[in-house]
Chain A
Amino acid sequence: MSFLKPRKDDHPKVHEAYEVMKDGRMDRREFVRVAALVGVSAGAAYAMAGIPSPAWALENSPFPADDPKAKKGGKLRVGMQIQKMEDTATYSWAEMSNQTRHIVEHLSMTGPDNITRPMLAESWTVSDDLKTWTFKLRKGVMWHNGEEFVADHVVWNIRRWLQPGLGSSNVGLAAFAAMRKDSGKKDSKGKAIMVEIPGAVEAVDKHTVRFNLKKPVLSVPEDCYNYPTALMHPSFKKPFSSNPIGTGPFTLTDLQVGKQAILKRVTKMSNGKPFTYWGGEVYLDEIHYYNFSNENQLSALASGSVDAIYEFTIEQMALAKSLPINIIPARTARTLCCRMQISKKPFDNHKLRQAIVKSVDNAKVKNLVYPTGGDVGQNHHVAPVHPDYFDLPALKRDVAAAKKLLAEAGYPNGIEVTIDVGNTDGPWHQTVCEALRDQMKEAGINLKINVMPASKYWEIWDTTPFGATAWTHRPLGTMVMGLGYRTGVPWNETHMASKEFDAALDAAEATFDVEKRKPLLGKAEKILQDAAVMVLPIFRPVYTGSSKKVHGFPPHPTGYHQFNKVWMG
């Protein structure tokens, strides 16, 4: 096995990580990811890790390698919910970004292998303290309107996101949160209004951008590929769909929300000169998105109305298997969180919560719903796919203990509780709840399942005492823990408020070394698990499908569409 050694000028973290890896304390793939994060090219990182570089780890390109058999031309029809395209920075659905992803692009790009590579940036470097990030931009990247893509454009975009009134969810990302400070002013509800720290982002020269962060952030490149972070031309005016200027290979020719979004290759810039795409060969001529609700997408694929779809659910697997299609699974950290709100009766009773958790066999539930694929959850929301996952001992179902706890909680004759479920990701939510019901029954807990339409569930998801909420995939365990369980954060649906937990999480977040971070995060995981605020039995895989004609359809864990190298056969 041959290892490429890190170069001298590589980031010290690379050296550090390299050593850790060599000692066998770090997974090689994790090393590739970390090295890529701090600016080592993916190809080099794979070489250092001593594993063969996958086909897509082409040097200096975020895209997979060209398939020699690829044919040019054709259109790809994709079934997806067609949303509006107002402002990329305020996108709230991944589907929206799919409609835009081939028009406007990001500084970086996270591939289906969970590795983040430079995209519009050619490379980046980071200071040792992880506070200063310098991005070298690609030269010769052209906007559709004929202008060259330069550093000022990046600065303009990022400063726009930081504006208090925009309402972009980007400010919740660690990288950009570290560019803001408290203005001292308060809004009508007494929350602090945050403003940009002057100089937090600066154009060093025409092709260099520097981030000056107020605290160390590890996930800057990953954050730069979050779906609302596409870079727009400064001439942008809402809505994007009526003036779609980007750097990507496609442009929007027709958008009808709820019906279709038609993307076509850009051949000429608006000044009349031919447009050359920086990213090399793109095979498709057109990408057509047609509106199909999630549950109808597979039928649409089956009936030949579309060539590929956004997603299908586990219940449709048998159908998918019966069809002549490619089934494309992706292992993710998406989950269903049957959480209790500890500020509400009767879930303020810790013993009761423990009884509920004890009465359930998570592995059994997972195997019932996802017999193959997926991971068993341990009631703490960090998934095995997360690089910083700390494997706590598996939970054991204990009905007797649950009964005892129930009695101690003051319900010796059992209790009836109701869970709200909205099947927001598909009917399997309900199946999970039904499995919980059957298992809890043995412990004397009578679970009533209140099924409601998805839209209604989203109105109460953060207020209901007991609800089954679907959470999407996020690349890091610290990210989900920070978003969902830190005291007072908006998405803290359990109303968990634990200083120890917050402290453990802070410690984990400030630790670059994954191996060191793991036990720290493990501590937080344990606190969360012991708090017994939820039953989180499954991390589910995501399935999508394409017809046999479609080649190179990438299985992305967050459902991002990356069609640069897709071709129709």
Chain B
Amino acid sequence: MTDTTMPAPRLSLTQRLKRPRALIVLSLLMVIPLIAYVMFGEPLARAGIREIVLIPAIPATLILYALAMASWRESWVAILGGTLVFFWVFVAVSVPFLPLLDPNKPIRPFAPPGTEVGDITFWLGTDLKGRDMLSRMLWGCQRVLVWGVTATAVAYVVGCIFGLIAGYISGIWDEIISFISNVLLSFPVMVLFILILNYLGPSGFNIVIAVTFASAPAIMRIVRGLALDNKTRDYVFAAQTRGEHPFRIMVVELLPNVRGPIIVDACLRLGYTTVAITTLTFLGLGLQPPDADWGLMIKEASNLMVWQFSYMLLIPALAVSSLILGFNLMADGLREMSLRD
């Protein structure tokens, strides 16, 4: 009376890479060097290893991209979105090695796209200070990606912790956490950003804080809802009835099971955060010059409102749009695929 069973097949390399642990390692390999490169560029440069740290990120990005494309075959939406996102990630990790002009070096102001100066060609022209637009556009994705990813990640950690506590432990904790998040959710997001960044002063780290304040309550609500839903599942009862510590139940039993909707939401939220960073930078509350950044490029060019210089506005606008489109399409595709299962 045994059920028919298939012998466990030996895992191929691709399958082994697709296991969650491998994916996490690859993602970290992709993101951490980038974060280090951007946030701790100074000390790394002093140690003489600033460029070197990015090297492991390049193969990690390519492998992740290949894996993603392989497993998203069913959804062209996800493929398109993933391609856009990975394009920018790849640019971010490889841009120091690309044959580009120095993005901060003024060469010849207001050169329209295609200008040739000596043996240099400005494919996308130069900006008002004479810096190469192509180079600035490609370098610009680094900061937006790094701060966007960091801010979203921190918001997620905070949101998940509180969401799990509120959803799983409930009671007075839920009331307190829910009230605080209600207070924060009562603000239109941009108002909250303005208030927080005006108080803390504009900088990447403060954006992380502001995004956490603005996003964590929403994430907390999602996680709380998922936790409330999952906590009535029998496997949680099973864990409770064997006397597991609530912390273990939250982390080991609940957390892995809320990840599906969270990953989709995270993609969307990465998009929102990217928008927020770009917008805040445009408003002067975000990242500060001189390094290239799309929001800054827009801000700097926004005083030059004539047709002839509109390429300076269009280039960063299209770049940021393509990245956000990528995140959104990816989220759509992932959701579509998760519903299909």
Which listed segment binds A: B153-161, B214-222, B302-310, B318-326? B302-310
Instruction: Given the known inter-chain contacts A427-B300, A453-B284, please indicate yes or no for A323 contacting B290, CB distance below 8 A.
Output: no
A interface majority secondary structure: helix
Give the docked Cα–Cα distance between A298 and B301 (Å).
12
Offer 25 A-B interface pairs, CB within 8 angstroms, sorted by A.
Answer: A295-B302, A296-B303, A299-B303, A302-B306, A303-B305, A315-B129, A316-B303, A318-B309, A319-B303, A319-B304, A319-B306, A322-B308, A323-B306, A368-B106, A423-B289, A427-B129, A430-B289, A430-B290, A434-B104, A434-B290, A448-B42, A450-B288, A451-B288, A451-B289, A452-B201
- Pair B201/A456 contact, Cβ less than 8 Å: yes
B69 within 8 A of A: no
Q: How far is the CB of B215 from chain A (nearest CB, A)?
A: 24
A residues touching B (Cβ–Cβ < 8 Å)? 295-296, 298-299, 302-303, 315-316, 318-319, 322-323, 368, 423, 427, 430-431, 434, 448-453, 456
Residues of B at the A interface (CB closer than 8 Å) are 42, 104, 106, 109-110, 128-129, 201-202, 284, 288-290, 300, 302-306, 308-309
How far apart are the CA atoms of A298 and B303 in the complex, in Å?
Answer: 7
A303 (CB) vs chain B CBs: closest residue = B305
Selected contact of B288 from candidates A316, A448, A452, CB within 8 Å: A452
Q: Are B289 and A322 in contact (CB under 8 A)?
A: no
Please name all residues of chain A whose beta carbon is closer than 8 Å to the beta carbon of B303 when the two chains form the complex.
295-296, 298-299, 315-316, 319
Please name all residues of chain B whose beta carbon is closer than 8 Å to the beta carbon of A434 when the two chains form the complex.
Answer: 104, 106, 290
Excluding A315-B300, A448-B42, A453-B202, 13 further A-B contacts by CB distance (< 8 Å) are A299-B302, A299-B303, A315-B128, A318-B304, A318-B309, A319-B303, A319-B304, A319-B306, A322-B306, A368-B106, A427-B128, A430-B290, A434-B290
When C-beta atoms are compared, the residue in chain B nearest to A293 turns out to be B303
| Whole-angstrom CA separation of A296 from B282 in the bound complex | 13
In the complex, chain A residues whose CB is within 8 Å of the CB of B42: 448
Please name the residue on chain B nearest to A295 by beta carbon. B303
Q: A296-B303, A431-B129 are in contact. Are A318 and B106 (CB under 8 A)?
A: no
A contact residues around B109 at 8 Å (CB): 315, 318
Residue of A nearest to B201 (CB): A456
- Bound CA–CA A449/B302 (angstroms): 23
Contact of B309 among A296, A319, A427 (CB under 8 A): A319
In the complex the two chains form, what is the Cα distance from A368 to B104 in whole Å? 14
Task: Determine which of A316, A450, A453, A456 lies in contact with B304 in the assembled complex, contact meaning CB atoms within 8 Å.
Answer: A316
A452 to B289, CA, bound (A): 8
Chain B min CB distance to A448 (Å): 8
Which one of A298, A299, A451, A456 contacts B290 once the chains associate, using CB atoms below 8 Å?
A451
Q: CA separation between A456 and B285, bound complex, in Å? A: 11
**Assembly CA distance A323 to B306 (angstroms):** 9
Question: Contacts of B202 on A, CB cut-off 8 Å?
Answer: 452-453
Q: A185 CA to B202 CA in the complex, in Å?
A: 43
Question: A302: which B residues are within 8 A, CB to CB?
Answer: 305-306
Residues of B within 8 A of A295 (CB): 302-303
CB distance from A313 to the nearest CB of B (A): 8
Task: Give the docked Cα–Cα distance between A456 and B109 (Å).
Answer: 28
> With the chains together, A368 CA to B109 CA distance in Å?
11
In the complex, the answer to whether B201 meets A299 with C-beta atoms within 8 Å is no
Q: How far is the CA of A451 from the CA of B202 in the complex (A)?
A: 10
A495 to chain B, nearest CB (A): 25
Complex-state Cα separation, A239 to B57, whole angstroms: 63
Residues of A within 8 A of B302 (CB): 295, 299
* Most central of B201, B202, B306 by chain A CB within 10 Å: B306
Interchain CA distance A427-B129 in the complex, whole Å? 9
